[in-house]
């Protein structure tokens, strides 16, 4: 089964509307893929094309209104939305602005637009200025409503994330099939994406990693064509997607044999991960979980934070840093992602996925043990 | 070999700077993946994470300045850029805004920000407002400079696009290995991505398609789990990537046997494609190419436009519509993408990729013949 029951979307809209009432908002204007999908279930890879803007209006007390390019009409009609307004995009004279303006004036303001951390406005700035002027409405931020809602997952969402974590787990179990001394890292990356697809991923929006003696230089580089060497540490980190939800975790492997420093680093990363898991209780702050892990790793080598929220996007919501004091709530899905420097200029990073509950966190990825696996 | 020689990036910067001089701009501020990559060569899939903003300043007369999260420092140092300033993102108190503001004040305004069609600002709106206020500089659009530059490809870029078109061509040649009556469309989608990877794609950011008797309902839906049936038309449309450049074309197949209407529609689509190819000469307008194709298909069933620019993104630049009067220039890479309705509610779409030259366009995809292939 794909997507969710209508009840899931209606509950999301109702929660948003009660928060909008508290903030005195007449409407939310949403423009990005996860924002539209969160309230409608509209799922397509067509967002890869930047040519057309897409809009969703969430009124204070009515069902959402979609104002979208006509190319999306059929797919939007398959969702629960009934008020779907389309134009023939792209239109160089008026790319949906007047249609959107009319709908917003009908709904009424103030209009809240996501404007805080991690948000962006997916429409041309010139059109946004035009829209604001023509609307004669009051405009403001969304008071963090959409980000706040998305941070706490429903049971149905958690099931999705657990499912895709399982897919990645089976792919990680098969890395010995594709990685060996002499195989180019770029080949390993291509083959690992193939394994993820074979194990059930719909697509693979994210794959990073690295390889080298006793670690890698960073964790965001694309693969080079350099072949793996005996004794290298290979790391693969994936955000695979199934039914619109991401996993985000990684595995380290030693190619042929493991250096002592790499083995020690891996054991320390697992120790830090377990400390993070133990600390990740409802009511504690993101910065407390960071502290529990940083006490073991000595800080933030690697990703610059020691974990983050996860769900409809590869990363979303809180950050495990010293500065983020977001309080953990049951239903938050997060990653634990400690990093250590092994030798100057080389790091190792480990990552797992969990969900916050009323008690001990539930593991969504099958946790790795302390021994660096040799393949 | 991956990426380009430094000379390629320097030439792009020089062209931008000469256009900036004409427009009286002191700097361009760029925030999106293709904009940063175009001028620096910075290539990573990490943009999938929305958590951190990234900035590039293009000064009127100096080399570009990168203002980026520290997690990207190592990778940015491998590009030709030397002025790289980093902060520990994400920072809830100041996510790069003051560092960026300082750099912009050093460079001087007016600051042009891409604001026209297809553009968006990839940073939180609240931070953008904060930045503008603190900068004490004049702000405006970029006068279409970046889009205009990107629309005309260098020979090195055309080679990249031709290469990935070849990869997709070999994958399309193998569709009979993965598609047959009884196979779920979602399985075909997964397997086709695997074929693209096996043939050399680095990753597959886009795959769409559809299947049904005499056509499909739309061209942007994700795959359902419904099995292919004997007599269905199967369409697969991919944006695969190699070294950061996209192809974007498709193929139709008849499963087991081809209906007469589907065969006739396919032949008409090829006829329209060839008419588009014949019309696509330097100096004519996008709307002229649209006219040549629409005269055969009768209009815009399918994608709502009959083709578009292509390159670092799946779609970029001009649209083949009645309203887009962009003049074709040698070096523009475009798709020809006619669509027809076969029966009410069902369409077929065909797509090929070409580059505009001083003479006849050069084919980047190996053009399909008029006969709908039966597999």
What domains, with CATH codes, occur in chain B? 6-151 (3.40.350.10), 155-363 (3.90.230.10)
Cross-chain Cβ contact A198/B194 below 8 Å: yes
Query: Rounded to the nearest 5 degrees, what angle is found at the Cα of A51, between the Cα atoms of B364 and B192?
Result: 50
- What stretches in chain B show pLDDT beneath 50? none
Question: Nearest Cα to A150, choosing from A58, A12, A14, A42?
Answer: A12
Put simply, whether B239 touches A (Cβ < 8 Å) is yes
Distance from CA of A171 to the nearest CA of B (A): 14
Give, rounded to a whole angstrom, the gap between the first and last alpha carbons of chain A.
36
Length of chain A (residues): 375
A190, A196, A240, A345: best to mutate for the B interface, most B CBs within 10 A = A190
Radius of gyration of chain A (CA): 22
Confidence at residue A2, expressed as pLDDT on a 0 to 100 scale: 83
Touching check for B135 and chain A: CB below 8 Å?
no
Dist CA A354 CA A365 (whole Å): 7
Select from A69, A119, A206 the Cβ nearest to the Cβ of B48.
Answer: A206
Q: How far is A202 from chain B (nearest CA, A)?
A: 6
Given a contact cutoff of 8 angstroms between Cβ atoms, the answer to whether A352 and A250 are in contact is no
pLDDT of residue B4: 97
Nearest chain A Cα distance for residue B17, angstroms: 22
Shortest distance, CA B256 to any CA of chain A (angstroms):
25
pLDDT at res. A301: 63
Residue of A nearest to B221 (CA): A44
Parts of chain A with a pLDDT under 50:
none
Task: Give residue B101's pLDDT.
Answer: 98
Asked if B46 lies within 8 A of A208 by C-beta distance, the reply is yes
Give yes or no for B177 touching A (CB within 8 A): no
- Phi and psi of B144, rounded to 5°? 70, 15
User: The whole model's pTM is what?
Assistant: 0.97
Q: If contacts are CB pairs under 8 Å, which of residues 318-357 in chain B contact chain A?
A: 319, 321, 323-324
Which of B51, B74, B113 is facing A308, going by the closest CB pair?
B51
| DSSP, res B220 | S
Instruction: Kindly report the nearest CA distance between residue B262 and chain A, in angstroms.
Output: 21
How many angstroms away from the CA of B261 is the closest CA of chain A?
22
**Per-residue model confidence (pLDDT) at position A194:** 97
B190 in reach of chain A (CB within 8 A): yes
Phi, psi of A17 (to 5 degrees): -65, -35
Q: Would an 8 Å CB–CB cutoff place B189 in contact with chain A? A: yes
User: E strands, chain A, where?
Assistant: 27-30, 55-59, 65-69, 83-87, 111-113, 139-141, 203-213, 232-242, 245-246, 249-254, 333-336, 339-343, 346-349, 352-355, 362-363
Task: Mark A152-185 as b/e (b = at least 16 C-beta within 10 Å).
Answer: bbeeebbebbbebbbbbbebbebbeebbeeebeb
CB distance B308 to B336 below 8 Å: no
Work out the mean pLDDT of chain A and round it to a whole number: 96
Q: ipTM more than 0.95?
A: yes
3-class DSSP state of B124? coil
Q: What pLDDT was estimated at residue B298?
A: 86
- Rounded CA separation B360/B255 (Å): 35
Residue percentage of chain A with pLDDT more than 70: 98
CB contact under 8 A, B51 and A315: yes
What CA–CA distances, in Å, run from B31 to A35, A145, B118? 20, 25, 13
State the pLDDT at residue B300. Answer: 60
Residue contacts between A and B (CB atoms, under 8 Å): 216
Residue of chain B minimizing CA distance to A315: B49
Say if the Cβ atoms of A118 and B2 lie within 8 Å. Answer: no
Cβ within 8 Å, pair A120-B119: no
Q: Do B50 and A118 touch (CB under 8 A)?
A: yes
In a 3-state reduction of DSSP, which class is residue A222?
Answer: coil
Exposed e or buried b per residue across B347-358, where buried means at least 16 C-beta atoms within 10 angstroms of its C-beta: bbbbbbbbbbbe
Structure tokens at B123: 């940073």
Of B119, B124, B208, the CB nearest to A46: B208
The token duo for A25 is 């908002």
Helix (H, G, I), strand (E, B) or coil at B75: helix
| Residue B140 sits at the chain A interface (C-beta within 8 Å) | no
Q: How many residues does chain B have?
A: 375
Let me know if A369 is exposed, middle or buried by CB neighbors in 10 A (0-12, 13-18, 19+). Answer: exposed
- The two structure tokens encoding residue A115: 């404007």
Residue B250 · residue B237 · CB < 8 Å: yes
Q: Which residues contact A298 (CB under 8 A, 6 or more apart)?
A: A340
In degrees, rounded to 5, the angle at the alpha carbon of residue B90 between the alpha carbons of residues B84 and B96 is 45
Q: What is the DSSP letter of B341?
A: E
Which chain A residues are Cβ-neighbours of B193 within 8 angstroms? 193, 197, 203-204
């Amino acid at each position: 089964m794909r997507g969710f029951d209508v009840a899931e979307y209606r509950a999301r809209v109702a929660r948003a509307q009660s928060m909008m009432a508290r903030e005195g908002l007449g409407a939310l204007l949403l423009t990005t893929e996860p924002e539209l999908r969160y309230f409608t279930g509209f799922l397509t890879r067509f967002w890869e094309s930047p040519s057309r803007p897409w809009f969703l209006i969430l009124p204070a007390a009515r069902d959402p209104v979609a104002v979208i390019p006509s190319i999306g009409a059929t797919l939007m009609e398959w969702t629960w939305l009934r008020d779907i307004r389309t134009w023939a995009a792209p239109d160089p004279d008026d790319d949906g602005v007047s249609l959107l303006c009319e709908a917003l004036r009908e709904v009424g303001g103030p209009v809240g637009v996501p404007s805080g951390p991690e948000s962006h406005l997916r429409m041309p700035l010139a059109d946004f200025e035009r829209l604001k002027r023509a609307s004669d409405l009051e405009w403001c931020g969304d008071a963090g409503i959409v980000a706040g809602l998305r941070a706490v997952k429903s049971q149905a969402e958690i099931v999705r994330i657990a499912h895709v974590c399982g897919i990645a787990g089976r792919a990680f179990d098969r890395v010995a099939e594709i990685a060996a001394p002499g195989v180019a890292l770029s080949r390993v990356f291509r083959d690992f994406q193939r394994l993820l697809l074979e194990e059930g991923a719909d697509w693979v929006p994210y794959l990073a990693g690295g390889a080298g003696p006793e670690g890698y230089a960073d964790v965001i580089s694309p693969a080079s064509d350099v072949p793996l060497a005996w004794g290298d540490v290979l790391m693969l980190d994936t955000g695979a997607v199934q039914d619109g939800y991401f996993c985000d975790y990684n595995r380290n492997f030693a190619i042929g044999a493991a250096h002592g420093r790499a083995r020690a680093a891996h054991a320390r990363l697992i120790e830090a991960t377990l400390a993070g898991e133990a600390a990740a209780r409802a009511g504690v702050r993101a910065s407390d979980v960071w502290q529990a892990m940083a006490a073991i790793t000595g800080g933030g080598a690697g990703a610059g934070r020691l974990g983050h929220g996860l769900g409809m996007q590869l990363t979303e919501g809180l950050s495990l840093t010293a500065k983020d004091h977001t309080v953990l709530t049951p239903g938050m899905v997060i990653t634990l992602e400690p990093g250590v420097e092994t030798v100057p200029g080389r790091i190792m990073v480990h990552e797992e996925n969990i969900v916050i509950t009323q008690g001990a966190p539930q593991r969504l990825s099958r946790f790795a043990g302390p021994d660096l696996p040799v393949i």
